[in-house]
Amino acid sequence: MNRRQFLTGCAALGTAAVLPQLRPAAQTGAAGSRMFRIDTHSHFTTPALYKLSTARGVNQAALADWTPAKMLQQMEEGGVATSIISISDPGVHFGDNNAARALARDCNEYAATVVRDHPGRFGFFAVLPLPDVEGALREAVYALDTLKADGIGVLSSYEGKYLGNPHYSTLLEELNRRKAVIYCHPYCAACGAQTELTDAQNRGVEFVFDTTRTILSILQTGASARFSDIRFIWSHGGGTVPFITSRLANVNQKLLKGALAELQRFYYDTAQAFNPYTMPSFKKFVPIDRIVFGTDYPLGGGSAAAVAKGLRDNGGFTDAELRAIERDNALGLLPRLRT
C-alpha cells in the first residue's frame, strides 16, 4: 500500500466513525446540529410578575428561575436560532390599571434588554395591560416603535371578553393599520367562575377551549374580516378548531369567503400539537405555510428537540415542508429575523 492509499483509507475510516454520530443530531435537532429553527412560542417572566402570579394561585414553577442563559442552553439542544419570548397567563393586569401599565412596561423593557444583549437569538411579543384598552394602545405604540417588539402578545380573553368583543375594536384598528403580528396565548376564563375545576381540568381542557372560543369570537363578530391585515398566531394548534371545523363553517354568513377560508388564513403554532393523535387533523386542516414552530418552553413540558422529533415522527412532512414550518414561515411573518 502506497502513502496515498494509506491516507485515503484512514480518511474513509474516520468519516465512517463520525457520520453515525452526526446523523441523529441533524435529524432530531440535538446538541451539535446547526441552529436554524425559530421558536415563536416560548415564555419568560420577571420577579415582580412571578410573585404576583404565584400569590394569585398560578402555578408556573418552571418559570421561577428563568434566565436567558438557561433558555439559550435549551435552544442549543434543540437547534433553535431564535426564540420569540412572551408573557403567558395570567398577563399583567391584577385589578389596577396604573399598576398593570407599569408592570407591562417593566416586562417589555426587560424583554427588549434580553433581545439587545443577545443579538439574533431572541425576539419578543409585547405584553399589554388589557383589559385597559387606553393603556394597551399606549404600550403597543411604545413597544412597537421604541422597543422594536416583533409583535403583540395577548391572552384569549380578559374578564370574560373574547378578542372579537367590540371592547377591543380601537386596539385592533391600530394594530390592523400597522399590519401587526398578534400572538394569542390561552387564558382559563372559566377558572375564576368554576371553583370546582382542578388544575388538570384548567390546563388540560379549559385552555384549549378558550383558544377555540376566542377564534370563534373574531369570526362571529366579523373582526377577522374587518381587521384582515392583522397576522394572528394561535397557540397549541388552534385549540380544538382543527377538530370541529364543520361546526364553525356557518358561524357568520357575512364572511365573503366563508369561515373556513378565514380560519386557514391564520397562523397556528406546533406547541403541544405535534403528537400522533393531533397531528393528522392539524396537518389536514392548516396549510403548510400557516404552521409555525412553537414549543411553549419552559411551560407545558415542551422542548425544541421534542417538538422537532414529534414533527418528524408524526407529521409525514417533506424536508421542504419541515424547513417552512421550522423556519421559513416565521421569517415571512417576522422579516427582521432575516438579518
Give one DSSP letter per residue of 167-236, joined into a string.
GGHHHHHHHHHTT-EEEEE---TTTTT-TT--HHHIIIIIHHHHHHHHHHHHHHTSHHHHTTTSEEEESG
Could you tell me if residue 166 is inside a domain? yes
Q: How far is CA 209 from CA 35, 248, 328, in A?
A: 34, 14, 29
| Separation between Cα atoms, residue 74 and residue 191, nearest integer Å | 31
Name the nearest CA neighbour of 111 among 63, 181, 44, 41. 44
DSSP string over 64-80: TT--HHHHHHHHHHTTE
Q: What is the mean pLDDT of residues 25-36?
A: 51
Number of domains in the chain: 1
List Cβ neighbours of 3 (8 Å cut-off, separation of 6 or more). none
Q: Which carries the bigger pLDDT value, residue 190 or residue 71?
A: 71
Q: Is residue 29 part of a domain?
A: no
Q: For residue 185, what are the domain limits?
A: 34-338
Give 15's pLDDT tier (boundaries 50, 70, 90): very low
Cα–Cα distance, 147 to 8 (Å, whole number)? 56
Structure confidence at residue 27 as a pLDDT band (50, 70, 90): very low
Question: Residue 186, Cα to own-chain centre: how many angstroms?
Answer: 11
Exposed/middle/buried for residue 119 (C-beta within 10 Å: 0-12, 13-18, 19+): exposed
**pLDDT (tens digit, 9 = 90+) per residue, 242-297?**
988 888 888 888 887 888 999 999 999 999 999 999 999 999 999 999 999 999 99
150, three cell numbers: 416583533
Residue 297 forms part of a structural domain: yes
Q: Give the span between the Cα atoms of 245 and 263, in whole angstroms.
A: 9
Residue-level pLDDT at 97: 98
Average pLDDT over residues 216-221: 94
At 254 the pLDDT is 81
Q: Does residue 8 fall inside a structural domain?
A: no
10 Å CB burial of residue 4 (0-12, 13-18, 19+) is exposed
What is the rounded average pLDDT of the residues 99-123?
97
Rounded to whole angstroms, the Cα distance separating 181 from 201 reads 30
Asked if residue 3 is part of any domain, the answer here is no
Helix axis angle for 133-145 and 169-177, nearest 10°, is: 20
Please state, in angstroms and rounded to a whole number, the distance separating the CA atoms of residues 125 and 148: 10
**pLDDT (0 to 100) of residue 258:** 87
Residue 165 within a domain: yes
Residue 271 falls within a domain, yes or no? yes
- The number of beta carbons lying within 10 Å of the beta carbon of residue 211 is 26
Residue 24 in this model has a pLDDT that exceeds 60: no
pLDDT band at 196 (very low <50, low <70, confident <90, very high): low
pLDDT reported for residue 168: 97
- pLDDT tens per residue across span 122-131: 999 999 999 9
User: Which CA distances in Å does 201 have to 7, 9, 63, 125?
Assistant: 64, 61, 21, 27
How do strand 151-155 and strand 267-269 relate by DSSP bridges?
Answer: unpaired
Residue 238 within any structural domain of the chain = yes
Q: Give the pLDDT confidence score for residue 208 in this predicted structure.
A: 82
Q: Which residues contact 51 (CB under 8 A, 6 or more apart)?
A: none
Calpha distance 18→14 (Å, rounded):
6
Looking at every residue in the chain, the average pLDDT score rounds to: 87
More confident residue, 20 or 68: 68
DSSP classification of residue 255? -
Q: What is the CATH number of the domain that holds 267?
A: 3.20.20.140
Task: Kindly state the DSSP code that residue 198 receives in the 8-state scheme.
Answer: -
pLDDT for res 190: 64
Instruction: Give the span between the Cα atoms of 230 and 63, in whole angstroms.
Output: 29
Predicted confidence band at 12 (pLDDT cuts at 50, 70, 90)? Answer: very low
Euclidean distance between CA atoms 217 and 306, whole angstroms: 32
Angle at 114 between CA 78 and CA 77, to 5 degrees: 10
Question: Is the pLDDT confidence value at 16 over 70?
Answer: no
State the Cα–Cα distance between residues 124 and 111, nearest whole angstrom.
Answer: 6
Amino acid type, 324: A
Rounded Cα gap, residues 244 and 215, in angstroms: 12
Portion of the chain with pLDDT greater than 90, in percent:
70
Largest CA distance in the chain: 83
Q: Which residue do the cell numbers 400569590 mark?
A: 55
Q: How many CB atoms lie within 10 A of CB 111?
A: 27
